[in-house]
Chain A
Amino acid sequence: MAFEQPPLPYAMDALEPYGMKAETFEYHYGKHHKAYVDNLNKLTADTDLANKPLEEVIQTSYKDGKAGIFNNAAQTWNHTFFWNSLKPGGGGGGTPTGDLAAKIDKDFGSFDKFKEEFSNAAATQFGSGWAWLVDDGATLKVTKTPNAENPLIHGQKPLLTLDVWEHAYYIDFRNARPAFIKNFLDNLVNWEFAAANLAA
């Protein structure tokens, strides 16, 4: 059984009114994400890993130092998680509610403090990588990871992510990564997705 690229959970042009062109998704989903899935299938063909759950392939390849498999498996997972972290239709951004909102207030001091920490992590990941909101079991935390690394290998539960590889924002924002981050927090965060991950 091969690894599959899940469909994009919205149309390629769904986020156009909110700063992210269809062209970005045509490349990011259609080329970059697809290439990771294709490479993962090539690298795991005819091995035991081909039939394992993606999460297990990520953990195993990381522990065994198999960089090629790890990079492609983690990037397959990270991108799917990223598409779901974005909400189309103008309902994104804003503030979380319920349990998640209460936890953010408790663990960061306030929602604004969370935003500040998240923006800072995303802006200061030097080179390629990701910014995350995670549940580490005891508290919620903001983290950043280089290249393909993700919270799964650090034993944390990811709630939300932002891709800060340049390919994620170069078509829409050029070098202005902070503008991309602000747009994500203001207009695109899917807080229902984050809340569901926390509850899971």
Chain B
Amino acid sequence: MTLKRRNFLYLLGASLGAAGLGIYPLEDAAWAADPTKGPFTLPPLPYPYNALEPHIDAATMQFHHGKHHATYINNLNAAVQKYPNLQGKSIEDLIRNLNSLPEDIRTAVRNNGGGHINHNLFWEIMGPNGGGAPKGAIATAIQSNFGSFDILKKQFNEVGAKRFGSGWVWLVRTKGGKLQVTSTPNQDSPLIEGNYPILGNDVWEHAYYLKYQNRRADYLNAWWNVVNWDAVNKRFEQAKA
């Protein structure tokens, strides 16, 4: 098989991936072929694909945002297609109220809606010229909840390394107002359990395989260099609202 054929397969990825990552077979995802027709749309990445180099490479960002995230949105749109009353709802609304959704689309929304909202957060809290020590209100809160930023980082990296299979590691604000490190499998959002995600790292292999392959621990370490603390502070504010 030639390189040419492989490139061809990549280009096909958007439509092929709809079946690969979602839970909808291709034929049900007719709408998915044109995401602009659905209520949910892919937010533009707030920085160029190569902005997080060398910690996260441009190719990874391209596939992650342009294929994986796009596929979740396509599948989410396909899932709500036959329920017009759900199409005006925000993604946060849908995820917070999974149990009130029609049973036949509950898993699809949990997986693909979760994939959508989790990736929205992920792009938002990263950025060029990121990293360093936390600042502002979140810095104080980390200090009082964990003792130090280093302790948080250590805990976060351990929990992220231990997530078996695909999933996420989070810094959340619990209903009781505490900061906590948690992990969810697959695309489950912390909102399902009533925790507000302030910061999260994607430990699906697609998030790091092109650059780090099997070395998830290296990725977890390097990732702190792209955290945008201003954006994290904004989410921390929203969490308290």
Residue positions of A touching B, CB distance < 8 A: 17-19, 27, 31-32, 35, 67, 71, 120, 123-124, 126-129, 146-148, 165-167, 170-179
Contacts and interface: CB of A to CB of B under 8 A. Distances in A.
Among A71, A129, A177, the most chain B Cβ lie within 10 Å of the Cβ of A177
A177 B17 contact: yes
Among A31, A129, A176, the most chain B Cβ lie within 10 Å of the Cβ of A176
Given A120-B25, A127-B167, A165-B165, A176 B16 contact: yes
Interface string B1-45: 100001001101100110111110110000000000000000000
11 contacts: A120-B25, A147-B164, A167-B205, A167-B209, A170-B209, A172-B6, A173-B9, A174-B10, A176-B12, A176-B20, A178-B19
B204 interface: yes
A133 B216 CA distance: 31
Interface of B: 1, 6, 9-10, 12-13, 16-17, 19-23, 25-26, 63, 67-68, 71, 111, 164-167, 185-187, 204-206, 209-210, 213-214
Given A166-B204, A166-B205, 17 more contacts: A31-B213, A32-B214, A124-B22, A126-B23, A127-B187, A128-B166, A129-B165, A148-B164, A167-B214, A170-B206, A170-B210, A174-B13, A174-B63, A175-B13, A175-B67, A176-B13, A179-B9
Nearest to A70: B164
A175 B213 contact: no
A128 B166 CA distance: 6
Contacts of B1: 17-19
A181 B63 CA distance: 19
A131 to B, nearest CB: 12
Contact of B213 (A18, A19, A27, A148): A27
B16 A27 contact: no
A171 B212 CA distance: 12
A127 B186 CA distance: 5
Contacts of A166: 166, 204-206, 209
Nearest to B59: A174
B135 to A, nearest CB: 35
Nearest to B206: A166
B185 A127 contact: yes
